[in-house]
Structure 1
Amino acid sequence: MSANPVALSAIGFDADDTLWQNEHFYRLTEGRFTELLADHGEAADISSRLLEAEKRNLKIYGFGIKGFTLSMIETAIELTDGRVSASVIQKILDAGRDMLGHPVETLPHAREALERLSGSYRIILITKGDLFDQERKLAQSGLGDLFDAVEIVSDKTAATYERIFSRHANGPASSMMVGNSLKSDVVPAIEAGGWGVYVPHALTWSFEHVEPPATEPRFREIADLGELAALVGRIAHPD
Structure 2
Amino acid sequence: MTSLTCIAFDADDTLWQNERFYRLTQERFADLLRAYTDSDHLMARLLDAERRNLGHYGYGIKGFVLSMIETAIEVTDQRVPASVIAELLDAGQDMLQHPIELLPHARDVVQSVAETYRVLLITKGDLLDQERKLAQSGLGDLFDGVEIVSDKTPEVYDRIFTRQADGAARAMMIGNSMRSDVVPVIEIGGWGVFVPHGLEWEIEAAPAPKHAPRFHEIADLGALPDLLDAIS
Q: Please indicate, yes or no, whether the TM-score normalized by the shorter chain is above 0.5.
A: yes
Unaligned regions of 5+ residues in structure 2, if any? none
- Provide the residue aligned with 2:86 in structure 1: 90
Identify the range of structure 1 (112-121 vs 64-73) with the bigger mean alpha-carbon deviation.
112-121
Aligned equivalents of 2:183 and 2:5: distance in 1?
A: 19
In angstroms, what is the RMSD of aligned CA positions?
0.7
Does 2:211 match 1:215? yes
CA–CA separation in structure 2 for the residues paired with 1:41 and 1:71: 16
Instruction: State percent identity of aligned pairs.
Output: 63
Unaligned runs of 5+ in 1: none
2:134 equivalent to 1:103: no
Cα distance in 2, alignment partners of residues 19 and 213 from structure 1: 23
Write the letter of the residue equivalent to 1:80.
T
For residue 70 of structure 1, what is the aligned residue in structure 2? 66
User: What is aligned with 1:171?
Assistant: 167
Give the Cα separation in 1 of the matches to 2:2 and 2:188: 16
Query: Number of aligned pairs?
Result: 232
In structure 2, give the amino acid aligned to 1:24: R
The alpha carbon displacement at 1:6 in A equals 2.5
Task: Note if contact 1:156-1:188 (Cα within 8 Å) is conserved in structure 2.
Answer: yes
What is the rounded CA distance, in whole Å, between the counterparts of 1:88 and 1:200 in structure 2? 34
- Name the amino acid aligned to 1:19: L
Q: How does the TM-score come out when normalised to structure 2? A: 0.99
Aligned-pair CA distance for 1:211: 1.1
Is residue 44 from structure 1 mapped to residue 40 from structure 2 by the alignment? yes
Determine the C-alpha separation between the residues in 1 that align with 2:117 and 2:93: 37
Displacement of 1:204 in angstroms is: 1.4
State the one-letter code of the partner of 1:189: V
Distance in 2 (CA, whole Å) between partners of 1:128 and 1:204 is 16
- On the 8 A contact 1:194/1:218 being kept in 2, the answer is yes
Aligned position for 2:183: 187
Asked whether 1:198 is paired with 2:184, we answer no
The answer as to whether partners of 1:6 and 1:235 remain within 8 angstroms in 2 is no
Q: Which is further off, 213-222 or 115-124?
A: 115-124
Residues 44-99 of structure 1: CA deviation (Å, up to 9, x unaligned): 11011000000000000000000000000000000111111111100000001100
Give the AA of the match of 1:23: E
Partner of 2:31: helix, strand, or coil? helix
Q: In structure 2, the residue corresponding to 1:46 is in which secondary structure?
A: helix
The one-letter code sitting in structure 2 at the alignment partner of 1:159 is E
Shift, 1:119, TM fit: 2.5
Q: SS at the partner of 2:80?
A: coil
- Residue 126 (structure 1) aligned to one of 106, 122, 128: 122
Secondary structure of residue in 2 paired with 1:124 = strand
For 1:35, the aligned partner's letter is D
> 2:89, 2:110 → 1: CA distance?
36
Structure 1 distance, partners of 2:37, 2:81, is 16
Aligned to 1:162: 158
Helix, strand or coil: the match of 2:35? helix
Which position in structure 1 is the counterpart of 2:111?
A: 115
Alignment-derived partner of residue 55 in structure 2: 59
Please say if residues 25 and 99 of structure 1, whose CA atoms lie closer than 8 Å, have aligned partners that are also in contact: yes
